[in-house]
Chain A
């Protein structure tokens, strides 16, 4: 399988709540102002030609862990490169550095939009062809049922069911990352068994009423969030925690985990 070209989103920020979207799909967001550096392979959300990227920055209470001199900061880059080699300056496709003096951070925050030139072959992805429009009541029930099924499988340590629920995602992620989907599925199974086949495995209770469904990309994909923006399903074994954060699309008449 050829190693694909990587489109990597890099964010460095602290003191701000952030929400980054690509093609109207939230790819990463953080509500606390904790400083962080994130790199995310964007390919699974890109479309050929150009893709839109949006960043929303919002104020948060001062992070007490930061010294007084540490002002809120945000920097975003999209870097293009290949695996095994750190891209040089030429690999930087998009760069945005928030300047508090130019864009004061009011109570509603700051919004920035940019465009990512995508010159490599990507997709097409299942979510692109999913029907648009907001989820109906039946859709909501189906998505919640999907969450319940995933949670139940985790509680039952049913690795096979979990892997099957992620089949479409693993296939598309494998294509985006240059890894066979079967390999991802196998890795998933091995990792889950390593955690679940222990006496200490436990899963946090699922409160369906506390879940939030976030339609994106015109309703073609729905992100599922747990309380406090945590993943909807969280399990742990000893000190290790695993979180299942997922987005679903209507594929072949059934809501399916696609991201």
Chain B
């Protein structure tokens, strides 16, 4: 039978082991229309197909089959009936139903086809099929096609925990080391003896028969360490076929790698490099000698990572629980001479050379937590607290004898600002800034004040590093 589907000519043929390279060894007779209708379980498709097929008259297009969903449904129905739609070359002009194509004469091939099909259901003993004979004259209609003997009503798959596939047929699992059993269940009407037939393809291939079956999805582990949130799953497709109706499921199996570790912040390479950069290249240039007095990256961090099955539905998710507690991230205490990069105003040096000093006291702590406990729930919390107070002062022991008092007002300091970074992986935006070295100086001589709140600036404030500054958490990169 030739059909015109989506603007292309098709030939409806039987799919049998003897199918030749063109896949054409039989043509549909008009009586198959009723069976085609019956093979569609979806009411809408049935109605559409019935309408389409009842209009299968000479010179009438089967326009309804241009609908992709209907076409797919028909194709599935045909496949379950071991029939196929074969697309003809474009040059074939049979764009309309032109009647039943029949082979010139039934021959041994038809007999052997019947012989090769021990089942009575898929290809009835009184098969409506004949080998293609496009040029042959239409044959007389057979008495009647054999009715299908089974119909798939519903099918379902579930993992060992009873989690079922979604409405669209997707199930995500995280197989343990022994693998995970996937139960296959079909509800049938009637019975043909060979259906339902389950076909599993993907990492493994198998075929099962029966209303209840199962297969085991393999356990696997990713060889790549670290963050596996973006790993591609292993995939399986499960198809269930019956004489009338079929269904397909997709299974995504994620690796079972589970990471649980704690680390010392000094192992946090990103943080260590950046804090040391700040200490050595920024602060030391202006404030010398305090490197040994600084403590940094004290505390602890812990990480738990792993794919998990969501108990409430078909999904799996990359769960994680990460906590960081740096107390301090940076702590400095002591009094230090200004470094070579500090531009000390000449009017100050008139009262004493190298008399200015900086006192740093305080610490900055950073706490962070990231968690994902379901596909839809993520938590992030990052806080930075504390302040390294920086004060400039002038030492009277290093100033001229006639100076009675020296006061430097204006507080400076180092502070941190932190927030979760907008990245797929947990990380944080953390910047260390200082408020610069500037002050107002009042110098009181023995006879009275001579410099009263005179302003000076040794270095502008700002961030102590380049921006943007994303601190990637160790083991996640």
Q: A residues bordering B, Cβ < 8 Å?
A: 3, 6, 8, 10, 12, 14, 28, 34-41, 44, 63, 65-67, 69-71, 73, 79, 81-87, 163, 166, 169-170, 173-174, 176-179, 183-185, 187-188, 191, 231, 234, 239-246
What are 23 of the A-B contact pairs (CB < 8 Å)? A34-B409, A35-B412, A36-B391, A36-B407, A36-B410, A36-B411, A39-B393, A66-B387, A67-B415, A70-B362, A70-B415, A87-B397, A174-B446, A179-B402, A179-B446, A184-B445, A184-B446, A187-B445, A188-B447, A188-B448, A240-B454, A242-B449, A242-B452
* Pick from A6, A12, A178: contact of B397, CB under 8 Å: A6
Nearest-CB residue, chain A, relative to B450: A191
Question: How close is B413's CB to chain A, nearest CB, in angstroms?
Answer: 6
Are B393 and A37 in contact, with the CB atoms below 8 A? yes
Are B406 and A38 in contact, with the CB atoms below 8 A? yes
Question: How close is B336's CB to chain A, nearest CB, in angstroms?
Answer: 12
Instruction: Tell me, yes or no, whether B243 is within 8 Å of chain A by CB.
Output: no
* Pick from A28, A70, A242, A243: contact of B389, CB under 8 Å: A70
Are B410 and A35 in contact, with the CB atoms below 8 A? yes
Q: Is the interface of A mostly helix, strand, loop or mixed?
A: mixed
Question: How close is A171's CB to chain B, nearest CB, in angstroms?
Answer: 10
**379-403 of chain B: CB within 8 A of chain A:** 385-387, 389, 391-398, 401-403
A234 to B442, CA, bound (A): 14
Question: How close is A29's CB to chain B, nearest CB, in angstroms?
Answer: 12
* Pick from A3, A12, A241: contact of B401, CB under 8 Å: A3
Instruction: Tell me, yes or no, whether B180 is within 8 Å of chain A by CB.
Output: no
Are A185 and B359 in contact, with the CB atoms below 8 A? no
A177 to B396, CA, bound (A): 11
Are B452 and A169 in contact, with the CB atoms below 8 A? no
Q: What range describes how many residues of B lie at the interface?
A: 35 or more
Are B451 and A240 in contact, with the CB atoms below 8 A? yes
Residues of A within 8 A of B449 (CB): 231, 242-245
Question: How close is B299's CB to chain A, nearest CB, in angstroms?
Answer: 17
A169 to B387, CA, bound (A): 42
Q: B residues bordering A, Cβ < 8 Å?
A: 359, 361-362, 364, 385-387, 389, 391-398, 401-413, 415, 435, 445-454
* Pick from A38, A84, A86, A179: contact of B407, CB under 8 Å: A38
Are A86 and B395 in contact, with the CB atoms below 8 A? yes
Residues of B within 8 A of A242 (CB): 448-450, 452
* Pick from A66, A85, A170, A239: contact of B411, CB under 8 Å: A66
Most buried by A among B362, B395, B398, B401: B401
A237 to B100, CA, bound (A): 114
Residues of A within 8 A of B409 (CB): 34-36
Residues of B within 8 A of A28 (CB): 405, 407
A40 to B362, CA, bound (A): 25
Are B391 and A12 in contact, with the CB atoms below 8 A? yes
Are B391 and A37 in contact, with the CB atoms below 8 A? yes
Are B396 and A41 in contact, with the CB atoms below 8 A? yes
Are A170 and B447 in contact, with the CB atoms below 8 A? yes
Extra 15 A-B pairs, beta carbons < 8 Å, given A187-B446, A188-B445: A10-B393, A35-B391, A35-B412, A36-B407, A38-B393, A39-B394, A40-B405, A70-B389, A86-B397, A177-B401, A184-B402, A184-B445, A187-B447, A188-B447, A242-B448
Nearest-CB residue, chain B, relative to A231: B449
A81 to B396, CA, bound (A): 10
A155 to B403, CA, bound (A): 25
A176 to B407, CA, bound (A): 19
